Amino acid sequence: MKRARVTLADVAALAKVDRAVVSRVVNNDPALSIRPETRERVLAAVAQLGYRPNAAARSLRTARAHMFGLFLPDFANPVYAEIIKGAEAAAAGLGCVLVTGSSTGAGLGGYMDLLGQGRIDGLLLAGAEGESELLAQLDRMAVPWLMLNRRSPAVKRYVILDDERAARLAVEHLVGLGHRRIAHLAGPEGADTALRRSAGWRAAMRDAGLPEGPIVAAGYTPAGGAAAMAALLAAPEPPTAVFVANVASAIGAMESVREAGLDIPRDVSMVAVHDLDLASYLAPPLTTVRMPLAELGRRGVELLGSLKPDDSVAEVLDGPIELIARRSTAPPVSGGPGG
Amino acid sequence: MKRARVTLADVAALAKVDRAVVSRVVNNDPALSIRPETRERVLAAVAQLGYRPNAAARSLRTARAHMFGLFLPDFANPVYAEIIKGAEAAAAGLGCVLVTGSSTGAGLGGYMDLLGQGRIDGLLLAGAEGESELLAQLDRMAVPWLMLNRRSPAVKRYVILDDERAARLAVEHLVGLGHRRIAHLAGPEGADTALRRSAGWRAAMRDAGLPEGPIVAAGYTPAGGAAAMAALLAAPEPPTAVFVANVASAIGAMESVREAGLDIPRDVSMVAVHDLDLASYLAPPLTTVRMPLAELGRRGVELLGSLKPDDSVAEVLDGPIELIARRSTAPPVSGGPGG
DNA sequence: TCCTCATGATCAATCGGTTGAGCCTGCACA
DNA sequence: TGTGCAGGCTCAACCGATTGATCATGAGGA
């Protein structure tokens, strides 16, 4: 399928017009009017030759790459898949492509250098870690960027989900079922999302007039969840329900419950944040809080495309957050677990 | 962090040399020698101004984008996360960036058009579906491409994993444990990987002198796996072991086993292809076959970078394939399930 | 008949690097 | 003293599209 490179000049020659005309037709340039029959001739030539503009030349001239980037720490995490979906759709709506890359591994630093100047119109960063090095890199690039679902004193542009509201929803569900001893398996200490979810749990407990139950840092990993849950179950008066900061640690926590010879939800109810497909395949299917992740990606791209160079943004995404009740939550059996 | 655009000319002016010299220093051009002290001066100027070459200009002139693309159908599938990892590393080794995008959704077609000419040096396609439309698009692009782990009559360049060997390994493990009635939950009918895995199962059964057990198409989804497994268990003489084409359908299959009141591995042993993290968190942890997925991504980029325009490639990746034994497989209880 | 003006098309500079060709300079050799 | 040659730089064309400035044409008005 060898196909010679077709340029503007080829199209212009075939249509017997100047290259400028072709360019204006192709871009629907409103500044200059083109006679309809000329336009037809040009479009016919474009179609006949299969002309497609050279992106590099266009970018060079216009200083716009028509490309946004989204960097994330871990492609294996399905949370990001949702975000990517929304961001891609939004980019396509702006006539741009979204490219994703991982912000870890061989070093985001070198990777960003490769991106060079003029290759990307804006960068979305999701769940970034290794902040100082990362931010230094970003400053060296003349590229606008934005953090997704992460605040930080050093960051002036971010969009976050309402993790606090999500946490309240989870806790209110448990309270509604009759639970009073509701523990919390928190995310990594210091992680922004983790802090917000913990704050929501605390607020909801207070609002319900319940004593703040035990809170244990579990990280965002199965191993962390397993250890934290084991610790909770070993306490003299274990909780009848747990609000877990994410699904990964909930998986570990479920394992600990099983290993203790207890049953979910009979002995312990469990809710976690983010309604991943995975949640419905666990045993038992896990009750979760669904967050507007795709919306987060969409909004991120939208902002990147419209912000002025020095604008700052601090937005809490106002999307639907809902509790997806599955079989991991049920009213407490009086007497609690261990009985 | 406003920072004026720095160009070659700025660096040249500061270092008091021609732009050509700067270019040659920056690119380590071997064709022309530069005096060491001149080189020093240039590098100092580059550092002082924070110069970084404009990617668009360079691409325009050299007709190389230093960028490879990897398109995949589903970011939520952890199989691809591994492939991405390998591909990114290989690209970095070639001084290129890897960008990924999804091949489904709003339409790969429009998306590829956006990529335009000259933005990508080569494309890797993983698990592509919607073949005819896709291939038509690709033909319209003057971009070399390669399929990962998928053969097709219409495709002249691909690298595949040795799925057949993986399947044999799985079956041999079950045979080694003493199983004789080994069923197979196959992938989607017509899918290339599914066919190869089924072929491997068949060959291994034959080699072991066993009658070919029942085979049911289960797709690559939990729902498909659940349905297929339920069907198998309803048979008069159910299998004591199942080789499942992938982890997703194994998850569904496990659920069906549970719902039938049976136990894994006591009543049914189960092995699936691809050693995802997830596998070790299932209940019970799932025995899997680990395939060199990162290697596949790595090799794909490597080939893209080195192939001549009309070369074709049909390569079976020769990487390590190993069985990861977990708790979902055990010797059969004599008498089989249902007893 | 001449001038004005809108319309529709062309000209040519420009974006920022890359690279083959050509130009100095000084040294070696006859 | 003249020639040859190589090392080290500079010149300038070029990649392909965009876009402000300019030009040609014909219609409408005085």
Environment class of residue A49 by beta-carbon count within 10 Å: exposed (0-12), middle (13-18) or buried (19+)? middle
Going by pLDDT thresholds of 50, 70 and 90, the confidence category of residue B111 is: low
Residues A247 and A178 in one domain: yes
Alpha carbon separation from B326 to A164, B66, B178, B260, B280 (Å, rounded): 38, 42, 16, 22, 8
Residues A71 and A101 in one domain: yes
What pLDDT shows up at residue B337? 45
Residue from A11, A26, A59 to probe the interface with B (highest B Cβ count within 10 Å):
A59
Residues B208 and B248 in one domain: yes
Q: How far apart are the first and last CA of chain B?
A: 73
Task: Specify the amino acid at residue B316.
Answer: V
What pLDDT shows up at residue B336? 44
What pLDDT shows up at residue B315? 96
Whether B85 sits inside 8 A of A106 (CB atoms) is: no
- Between CA A60 and C1' C14 the distance (Å) reads 10
Does B132 have pLDDT greater than 80? Answer: no
Greater confidence (A241 vs B34) lies with: A241
Distance CA B324, CA B326 (A): 6
Answer for A27: CB within 7 Å of strand D. Answer: yes
Residue appearing with tokens 């390998």: B86
Answer for A35: CB within 7 Å of strand D. Answer: no
Whether B75 sits inside 8 A of A85 (CB atoms) is: yes
Question: Residue B22 maps to which CATH number?
Answer: 1.10.260.40
Residues in B closer than 8 angstroms to A72, CB to CB, are none
Q: Give the relative orientation of helices B78-93 and A108-115 as an angle to the nearest 10 degrees.
A: 70
- Between CA B14 and C1' C17 the distance (Å) reads 17
- Examine residue A175 and state whether it is found in any structural domain, yes or no: yes
What pLDDT shows up at residue A108? 61
Going by C-beta distance under 8 Å and a sequence separation of 6 or more, which residues neighbour residue A28? none
CB A129: neighbour CB atoms within 10 A?
14
Question: Residue B210 maps to which CATH number?
Answer: 3.40.50.2300
Residues B247 and B178 in one domain: yes
Nearest Cβ partner for B81 among A75, A88, A114: A75
- Between CA B115 and C1' D9 the distance (Å) reads 39
Tokens of B288: 């899997």
- Rounded to the nearest angstrom, the minimum Cα separation between A115 and chain B is 7
- Rounded to the nearest angstrom, the minimum Cα separation between A81 and chain B is 5
What is the total count of domains within chain B?
3
What tens-digit pLDDT sequence spans chain A (339 residues)?
345 689 999 999 999 999 999 999 999 987 778 899 999 999 999 999 999 999 999 999 999 988 899 988 889 999 999 999 999 999 988 888 888 888 776 556 556 666 667 788 999 999 856 566 667 777 767 788 899 999 988 888 999 999 999 999 999 999 999 999 999 999 998 899 999 999 999 999 999 999 998 999 999 999 999 999 999 999 999 999 999 999 999 999 999 999 999 999 999 999 999 999 999 989 899 999 999 999 999 999 999 998 877 789 999 999 999 999 999 999 998 654 443
Average pLDDT of the residues in B152-162: 90
| Bases on strand C under 7 Å from any protein CB | 7-12, 14-21
What pLDDT shows up at residue B10? 95
Distance of alpha carbon B326 from its chain centroid, rounded?
A: 24
Does B307 have pLDDT greater than 70? Answer: yes
- Between CA B21 and C1' C30 the distance (Å) reads 36
Residues B176 and B135 in one domain: no
Residues A123 and A101 in one domain: yes
Closest CA relative to residue A280, chosen from A248, A242, A326: A326
Q: Which residue is nearest to nucleotide C7 (CA to C1')?
A: A33
Answer for B29: CB within 7 Å of strand C. Answer: yes
Residue from B141, B145, B281 to probe the interface with A (highest A Cβ count within 10 Å):
B281
- Give CA angle at A126 (B75, A203), nearest 5°: 110
- Examine residue A190 and state whether it is found in any structural domain, yes or no: yes
- Rounded to the nearest angstrom, the minimum Cα separation between A119 and chain B is 6
Please name the helix (run of DSSP H) or strand (run of DSSP E) that holds residue B234, with its range, or none: helix B222-234
Distance CA B140, CA B311 (A): 18
Distance CA B16, CA B42 (A): 9
- Examine residue B68 and state whether it is found in any structural domain, yes or no: yes
- In which domain, by residue range, is A175 found? 163-291
Residues B180 and B138 in one domain: no
Cα dihedral: B138, B142, B144, B145 (round 10):
-10
What pLDDT shows up at residue A337? 45
Residues in A closer than 8 angstroms to B254, CB to CB, are 283
Residues B129 and B223 in one domain: no
Does B23 have pLDDT greater than 80? Answer: yes
| Bases on strand D under 7 Å from any protein CB | 7-12, 14-21
CB B323 within 8 A of CB B287: yes
Going by pLDDT thresholds of 50, 70 and 90, the confidence category of residue B108 is: low
Going by C-beta distance under 8 Å and a sequence separation of 6 or more, which residues neighbour residue A264? A254, A257, A258, A270, A284, A328
What pLDDT shows up at residue B107? 54
Residues A298 and A152 in one domain: yes
Distance CA B114, CA B43 (A): 36
Answer for B27: CB within 7 Å of strand D. Answer: no
Does B236 have pLDDT greater than 70? Answer: yes
- Examine residue B330 and state whether it is found in any structural domain, yes or no: no
- The percent of residues above 70 in pLDDT, for chain B, comes to 91
Greater confidence (A53 vs B308) lies with: A53
Lowest-confidence region among A207-211, A263-267, B17-21, B129-133: B129-133
Residues A208 and A306 in one domain: no
Answer for B32: CB within 7 Å of strand D. Answer: yes
- Examine residue B337 and state whether it is found in any structural domain, yes or no: no
Does B1 have pLDDT greater than 60? Answer: no
Going by pLDDT thresholds of 50, 70 and 90, the confidence category of residue B3 is: low
What pLDDT shows up at residue A338? 43
Going by C-beta distance under 8 Å and a sequence separation of 6 or more, which residues neighbour residue A61? none
What pLDDT shows up at residue B110? 59
Residues A75 and A28 in one domain: no
Residues B154 and B302 in one domain: yes
Distance CA A317, CA A148 (A): 10
